């Protein structure tokens, strides 16, 4: 049997294969009004197509736990019950196709309030439904970005509560996997990294203090997330910075990722989704096929926490080799699934594996 198409069990949940869809923002929700953050027909069609295409686990885009936690005004949210109802329609359909629906719970922190990428991605103000972003320290993400409001300890506790409430709503919406977004320079990742966190209180300075928010959020989500269902955490394994980078403070490192992975496991996380970068806009990143897989492999080798690998994984044999060599437990595809919603079915044919195909599409097999 192909390793890529072996079922994978986490807690009591069986995911039918190891081809998983990474969260990818669609910037397609209403920005204001009663439908702000509500999933639309676009989101349904986008996620449903990957389910009919055989993807085992489908993670939604970064879904904001509060309005100011959106990356853009057009992002999905899960801070009210109207949003829950729209998401339930999507999760029901995904399950009907034999796939597993998952949700990424997120807060964008200092990288919030920006335009969609095809509109330039620059920060937007009130005239375009924007707001003042927040962060661990009053440090803008980049030139031309606003100085974020430095969160107080009371406000941090409020954000932890928002994650707990969002997880409770995610259960109501029918999701079977929850992922806490701690990667790509968004709020939790901002707290983790000394590049963006210059606090001197209990949330800054030492590794233990910088990791405090991540662990508090995980604890809050785990309080309300069903014991029988798995919880993921997405991490940027490195900021791709060193102390020798000109004009850059040293950032989060792979060593710290391994250390955090062990802590996350002890707090009820079942799998680490290992990405990298996103917190320093001018970091020098060497990309190539599977360039982030070594980070996942190291976590897997040095801890007992299962991992999923990401990053320019595009070919079936490449994905199969990552699993058979024990470098990861699953692969998450992003842009390749944008290009080809039926990638999983095509990969199964290439690898000689069985996969569910909707009856309506059997003529194409």
pTM for the predicted model, two decimal places: 0.96
Instruction: Note the pLDDT of residue 94.
Output: 98
Mean pLDDT lowest among 336-340, 342-346, 361-365? 361-365
Read off the pLDDT of residues 85-134 as tens digits, 9 standing for 90 and up.
999 999 999 999 999 999 999 999 999 999 999 999 999 999 999 999 99
Instruction: Note the pLDDT of residue 160.
Output: 98
Place of tokens 């993921």: 232
Instruction: Note the pLDDT of residue 234.
Output: 98
Architecture of the 3-364 domain: Alpha-Beta Barrel (3.20)
Average pLDDT, the chain: 96
| Residue 291 annotated among the catalytic residues of the structure | no
Is a pLDDT exceeding 70 seen at residue 245?
no
Read off the pLDDT of residues 25-53 as tens digits, 9 standing for 90 and up.
999 999 999 999 999 999 999 999 999 99
Number of C-beta neighbours around residue 313 at 10 A: 23
Is a pLDDT exceeding 80 seen at residue 247?
no
Read off the pLDDT of residues 148-181 as tens digits, 9 standing for 90 and up.
999 999 999 999 999 999 999 999 999 999 999 9
Is a pLDDT exceeding 90 seen at residue 225?
yes
Q: What is the DSSP letter of 280?
A: S
Instruction: Note the pLDDT of residue 146.
Output: 97
Q: Which of 27, 186, 203, 291 is catalytic?
A: 186
Burial 10-49 (b: 16+ CB within 10 A, else e): beebebbbbbbbbbbbbbbbebeeeebbbbbeebbebbbe
Structure tokens at 4: 């890529």
What proportion of the chain, given as a percentage, has pLDDT over 70? 98
Structure tokens at 57: 């686990």
Is a pLDDT exceeding 60 seen at residue 252?
yes
- For the chain, the structural domain boundaries read 3-364
How large is the average pLDDT for residues 300-322? 97
Instruction: Note the pLDDT of residue 249.
Output: 60
Instruction: Note the pLDDT of residue 112.
Output: 98
Instruction: Note the pLDDT of residue 246.
Output: 47
Sequence-distant (≥ 6) Cβ neighbours of residue 209 within 8 angstroms: 199, 201, 202, 203
* Helices 316-324, 343-351: inter-axial angle, 10-degree rounding: 70
Contact yes or no for 45/58 (Cβ under 8 A): no
* Helices 81-96, 41-52: inter-axial angle, 10-degree rounding: 20
Is a pLDDT exceeding 80 seen at residue 243?
no
pLDDT range class, residue 248, cuts 50, 70, 90: low
Q: By C-alpha distance, which of 281, 280, 276 is closest to 298?
A: 276
Is a pLDDT exceeding 80 seen at residue 306?
yes
């Amino acid at each position: 049997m192909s390793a890529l198409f072996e079922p994978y069990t986490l807690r009591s949940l069986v995911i039918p294969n190891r081809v998983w869809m990474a969260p990818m923002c669609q910037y397609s929700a209403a920005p204001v009004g009663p439908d702000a953050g509500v999933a639309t027909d676009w989101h349904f069609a986008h996620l449903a197509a990957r389910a009919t295409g055989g993807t085992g686990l489908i993670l939604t885009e970064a879904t904001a736990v509060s309005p100011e936690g959106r990356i853009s005004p057009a992002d999905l949210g899960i801070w009210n019950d109207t949003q829950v109802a729209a998401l339930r329609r999507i999760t029901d359909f995904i399950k009907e196709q034999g796939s597993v629906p998952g949700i990424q719970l997120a807060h964008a922190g200092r990288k919030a309030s920006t335009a969609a990428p095809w509109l330039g991605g620059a920060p937007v103000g009130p005239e375009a439904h924007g707001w003042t972003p927040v962060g661990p320290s009053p440090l803008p993400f980049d030139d031309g970005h606003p100085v974020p409001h430095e969160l107080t300890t009371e406000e941090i506790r409020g954000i932890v509560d928002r994650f707990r409430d969002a997880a409770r709503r995610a259960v109501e919406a029918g999701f079977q996997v929850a992922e806490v977004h701690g990667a790509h320079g968004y709020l939790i990742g901002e707290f983790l990294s000394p590049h963006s966190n210059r606090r001197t209180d209990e949330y800054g300075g030492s590794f233990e203090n910088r990791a405090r928010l991540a662990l508090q959020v995980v604890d809050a989500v785990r309080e309300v997330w069903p014991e029988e269902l798995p919880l993921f955490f997405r991490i940027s394994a490195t900021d791709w910075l060193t102390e020798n980078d000109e004009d850059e403070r040293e950032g989060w490192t792979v060593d710290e990722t391994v250390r955090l992975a062990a802590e996350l496991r002890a707090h009820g996380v079942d799998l680490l989704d290992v990405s990298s970068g996103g917190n320093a806009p001018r970091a020098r990143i060497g990309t190539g096929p599977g360039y982030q897989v070594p980070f996942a492999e190291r976590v897997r080798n040095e801890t007992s926490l299962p991992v999923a690998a990401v990053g320019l994984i595009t070919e079936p044999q490449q994905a199969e080799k990552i699993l058979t060599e024990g470098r990861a437990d699953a692969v998450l595809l992003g842009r390749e699934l944008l290009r080809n919603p039926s990638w999983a079915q095509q990969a199964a044919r290439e690898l000689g594996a069985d996969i569910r195909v909707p009856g309506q599409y059997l003529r194409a097999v």
